[in-house]
Amino acid sequence: MASDICRVLLVDDDEDDYIMTRDFLSEAEQLTFKLDWVDSYPEGLAAIAQNQHDVYLLDFRLGKEDGLELLQAALKLGCTKPIILLTGVGDHDIDQKAMATGASDYLVKGNTLSATLLERSILHAMERKRGEIRQAQLMAELATANQELKDFAYIVSHDLKAPLRGIASLAVWLLKDYGDRLDENGKEMLQLIDGRVRRMGDLIDGVLQYSRVGRVRDEKTNVDLNQVVAAVKDAIAPPVGLEILVDSELPIVFVEKTRIQQVFQNLISNAVKYMGKPEGQIRIGHTTDNGFWQFFVSDTGIGIEERHFEKVFQIFQTLAPRDQSESTGVGLAIVKKIVELYGGRVWVTSQVGHSSTFFFTLPQTLEDRDV
């Protein structure tokens, strides 16, 4: 490190301050400093515009302007190097304003200022600035990635489905118009095409639904989960012989209604789908634990082997053979995504052949996780 030269610009109208700073920097242990000095606001700004220094030290008093104004002007120019403000004893307001404006640090001149302190402040300021720049880059990359994802979802919804619909139509028309000239084998092939087309359509819809969770935001409101569950029960219309019971008075939560509805809709319809017999019971309820609500949806269905407990929450993972299953493996992935977005957790316990219980938690003070 000793070979690195750190170029410092001091903007200060007091020559004594320059001499002090120069002496302090010459004592530095970790870096070699090269100090330049200008004594006015305009010269300071001109030098900052040249961008030839690694760090700037601005005195607060600069004739008719002050260091804060120079700091603002420098940032406006797009200065990406750390700026440290030098203030007098007891100027706490100025110190705070400086930090709020975007100074990397402030140093109080006077007896407490030392060579070690100055050097440490410069080193930390440079490190922090590098971190800030890196973070800004990451944020910009994230914004680009998010935009690409949105565009991608749009393209999927438009462009991937159009040819698929064409194939579907052609298969149906072939069967209708030329069915009498095909043997059973040929007809079966056309039906297989039709089935695969539907499956592909469902998968595209699934991807879209899954990506919508992060993409499309609704207004959060106070949502009465008792009403949500009642509405979901109505919508699912379970077969006779299948009982859906709500065990507890569910709470009112501050969330996006469509999202929480999706969570219950997917969990309950899964329970119905994997009952595996004409009669059964689904129970819904909740407990409160340590600042979290813990909800459960349990069923007396076919159950899940323990080795699949994680897998069922991954997108496109289904446990039934693809040909026989109408499910695309998106529902539980959406549940997981929504619950985690709200800062909760989701998991399952099960006894094969007997029952499964899906649990999820929501913090009682709901905050959103995404940026």
Partner 1 sequence: MKSSDPILLVEDDRIDVLNVKRGFKDIHAENPLYVAENGEVALEFLRNSQNPKPALILLDLNMPRMNGLEFLRILKNDPGWRLIPVIVLTTSQEDQDRRHSFELSAAGYIVKPLDYDNFVKILQTIYQYWLLSQSFEGG
Binding site for partner 1 (CB under 8 A): 154, 157-159, 161-162, 164-166, 168-170, 172-173, 194, 197-198, 201, 208, 216
CB of 296 to partner 1, least distance (A): 32
Contacts of residues 168-173 at CB distance under 8 Å and 24 or more positions apart, as own/partner, are: 168/194, 168/197, 168/198, 168/201, 171/197
Q: Which is nearer to partner 1, 168 or 304 (CB)?
A: 168
Query: Partners of 349 in the beta sheet?
Result: 357
CB of 176 to partner 1, least distance (A): 9
DSSP string over 76-101: HTT--S-EEEEE-TT-HHHHHHHHHH
The token duo for 144 is 């680009």
- Surface-to-core class of residue 339, CB atoms within 10 Å of its CB (0-12 exposed, 13-18 middle, 19+ buried): buried
CB of 269 to partner 1, least distance (A): 20
CB of 308 to partner 1, least distance (A): 30
CB of 161 to partner 1, least distance (A): 5
Task: Classify residue 242 by its DSSP letter.
Answer: E
Q: Which is nearer to partner 1, 150 or 220 (CB)?
A: 150
Q: Which residue in this structure is represented by tokens 């300021």?
A: 125
The token duo for 97 is 């304003």
Whether residue 89 contacts residue 108, with contact meaning beta carbons closer than 8 Å, is answered with: yes
Q: Which is nearer to partner 1, 209 or 349 (CB)?
A: 209
CB of 255 to partner 1, least distance (A): 19
| Positions of E strands within the chain | 5-11, 32-38, 55-59, 61-62, 65-66, 83-87, 105-108, 220-224, 242-246, 252-256, 280-289, 292-299, 346-351, 355-363
Q: Which is nearer to partner 1, 94 or 164 (CB)?
A: 164
CB of 166 to partner 1, least distance (A): 4
Q: Which is nearer to partner 1, 134 or 176 (CB)?
A: 176
Q: Which is nearer to partner 1, 91 or 194 (CB)?
A: 194
CB of 247 to partner 1, least distance (A): 36
Burial letters 34-46, b for 16+ CB under 10 A, else e: ebebbbbbeebbe
Q: Which is nearer to partner 1, 16 or 159 (CB)?
A: 159
Whether residue 101 contacts residue 73, with contact meaning beta carbons closer than 8 Å, is answered with: no
Q: Can you tell me the distance from the alpha carbon of 240 to that of 112, in angstroms, rounded to the nearest whole number?
A: 82
Q: Which residue in this structure is represented by tokens 């709020």?
A: 100
Q: Which is nearer to partner 1, 157 or 269 (CB)?
A: 157
CA-based end-to-end distance of the chain: 37
Q: Which of 50, 135, 37 is nearest to 86 (CA)?
A: 37
CB of 371 to partner 1, least distance (A): 21
CB of 200 to partner 1, least distance (A): 9
Q: Which is nearer to partner 1, 178 or 347 (CB)?
A: 178
Q: Which is nearer to partner 1, 77 or 189 (CB)?
A: 189
Rounded to 5 degrees, φ, ψ at 134 are: -60, -40
